[in-house]
């Protein structure tokens, strides 16, 4: 049989990883899927640069700056979209689908925002749309949740799904450094972009969580309803206090199924989180990713590995390609649905707002060091039926103590048991209104997973 030909949209880090994996492991891949698979074309902005990269890797690929010619090429069977961004990637993918091409993409923003449209188009044109490389790089978590756990009712998914944020928090924890200092190092090492907003503000993780949640719960993609908080405001002293209390600060994406008065709802949230140091997720360091899935039959399962990189992400794309080669010529109704559930069986499950999330909380309150302050604070928490797990009262602030004219301030750190977030925020507003509390309370969520 003739070989299966792959066209790339983009030939940067991931595109070169795809081509490299397919070329190096060509014989093994042929044995797995029954036909030889080769990259024949790539569309790029800088043709000369891509040609030089292909020549250096000894890859025989036709390079062009005309992406439309690649997606419509009659000899190309599969498109790997690795150019990033929503446009022109969306239009090119829709065109490729209309031309009967299967697609694998590493573009989590494209799928999280436009996936519902793309999946419908793939169904219309009876082709496959894969996105394994778009979540957690080389970790095959999409396939694990969509297929390996297909017999389970999934209760929750929680993960470290952005390596840049994890690198920064790891260095803040292990080396006692401040956020801005570590961010500069991450940029110098190439882990963070010149504009790191998508990573440190949580958008990248929210894109990935959107995909995981839809596969886990059988719901349409709902990126616009994800609660998103980044790590820019994490202060070194809170990392230290968390450590003293036996917790690590991690930037997590959490999707959890909830039963509210007999009806199903879900929490979709990305934010800094305190988790117990004894847990495996707390010990995922540097740029590594990990996803913890809780399901009824299996229980907890953890998927760990590199969340980015040329060949790890290329490996995930090649896995999609192999699935597509195996399916060539088959009945499309027998293919695995993109979101695990049949398209007409997706359930529009409501997403809970921030006030209805239930979790524990870490609170750092800077208060005047005088009698009755702790009683006032405890009284407010008691009034709202907020149970406290731990209290850590620190020494007065050294700079403030040196000023004879200023009231002595000291940090009070509280850990609460699980409580509805709306209730906690009401209590915090009352604490901040106390004359003895001159600054805003630092509030971080706590998860025992």
The residues assigned a catalytic role are 208
CA distances from 133 to 106, 140, 314, 389 (A): 5, 8, 7, 40
Q: What angle do CA 211, 354, 439 make, to 5 degrees?
A: 125
3-state secondary structure of 88: coil
User: What's the CA gap between 81 and 109, in Å, rounded?
Assistant: 12
**Complete DSSP assignment for 373-423:** HHHHHHHHHHHTT--EEEEEEPPPPHHHHT-TTSPPEEEEEEEE-SEEHHH
Q: Which helix (H) or strand (E) holds 442?
A: strand 442-446
Helices (H) and strands (E) counted in the chain, each on its own, are 16, 17
What CA dihedral angle connects 242, 243, 246 and 252, to 10 degrees? 60
| Contacts of range 233-238, beta carbons closer than 8 Å, 24 or more positions apart | 234/169, 234/172, 234/179, 234/272, 235/178, 235/179, 235/442, 236/172, 236/176, 236/177, 236/178, 236/179, 237/364, 237/411, 238/362, 238/364, 238/442, 238/444
Nearest residue to 214 via CA among 232, 203, 226: 226
392 contact partners, CB below 8 Å, separation of at least 6: 241, 244, 245, 412, 413, 414
**Complete DSSP assignment for 175-235:** H---HHHHHHHHHHHTSS-SS-HHHHTSHHHHHHHHHHHHHHHT----GGG-EE--STT--
Nearest residue to 229 via CA among 261, 210, 252: 252
User: What's the CA gap between 363 and 372, in Å, rounded?
Assistant: 19
Residue 147 is given by DSSP the state I
Nearest residue to 255 via CA among 220, 294, 285: 294
């Amino acid at each position: 049989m003739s070989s299966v030909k792959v066209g790339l949209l983009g030939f940067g880090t991931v595109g070169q990883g795809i081509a490299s994996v397919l070329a190096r492991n060509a014989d093994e891949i042929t044995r797995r899927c029954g036909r030889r698979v080769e990259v024949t074309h790539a569309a790029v902005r800088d043709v000369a640069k891509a040609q030089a990269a292909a020549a250096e890797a000894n890859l025989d690929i036709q390079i062009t700056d005309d992406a439309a010619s690649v997606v419509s090429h009659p000899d190309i069977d599969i498109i790997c979209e690795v150019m990033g961004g929503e446009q022109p990637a969306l239009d090119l993918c829709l065109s490729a689908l209309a031309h009967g091409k299967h697609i694998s993409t590493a573009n989590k923003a494209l799928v999280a925002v436009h996936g519902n449209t793309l999946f419908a188009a793939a169904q219309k044109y009876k082709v496959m749309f894969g996105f394994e490389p778009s979540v957690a790089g080389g970790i095959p978590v999409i396939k694990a949740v969509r297929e390996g756990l297909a017999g389970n009712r999934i209760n929750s998914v929680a993960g470290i799904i952005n390596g840049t944020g994890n690198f920064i928090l790891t260095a803040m924890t292990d080396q006692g450094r401040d956020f801005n200092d570590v961010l500069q190092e991450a940029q110098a090492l190439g882990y963070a972009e010149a504009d790191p907003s998508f990573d440190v503000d949580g958008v990248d993780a929210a894109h990935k969580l959107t995909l995981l949640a839809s596969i886990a719960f059988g719901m349409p993609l709902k990126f616009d309803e994800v609660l998103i908080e980044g790590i820019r405001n994490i202060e070194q002293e809170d990392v230290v206090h968390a450590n003293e209390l036996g917790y690590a600060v991690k930037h997590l994406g959490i999707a959890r199924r909830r039963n509210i008065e007999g009806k199903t709802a879900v929490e979709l949230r990305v934010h800094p989180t305190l988790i117990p140091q004894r847990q495996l997720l707390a010990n995922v360091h540097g740029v590594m990713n990990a996803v913890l899935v809780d399901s009824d039959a299996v229980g907890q399962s953890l998927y760990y590995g590199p969340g980015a990189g040329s060949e790890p992400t290329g490996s995930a794309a090649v896995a999609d390609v192999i699935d597509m080669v195996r399916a060539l010529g088959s009945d499309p109704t027998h293919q695995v649905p993109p979101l695990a559930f049949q398209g007409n069986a997706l359930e529009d499950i409501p997403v809970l707002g921030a006030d209805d999330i239930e979790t524990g909380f870490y609170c750092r309150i800077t208060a005047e060091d005088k009698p009755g302050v702790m009683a006032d604070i405890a009284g407010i928490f008691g009034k709202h039926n907020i149970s406290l797990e731990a209290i850590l009262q620190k020494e007065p602030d050294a700079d403030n103590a040196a000023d004879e004219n200023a009231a002595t301030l000291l940090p009070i750190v509280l850990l609460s048991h699980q409580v509805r977030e709306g209730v906690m925020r009401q209590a915090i507003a009352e604490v901040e209104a106390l004359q003895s509390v001159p600054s805003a309370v630092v509030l971080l969520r706590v998860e025992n997973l």
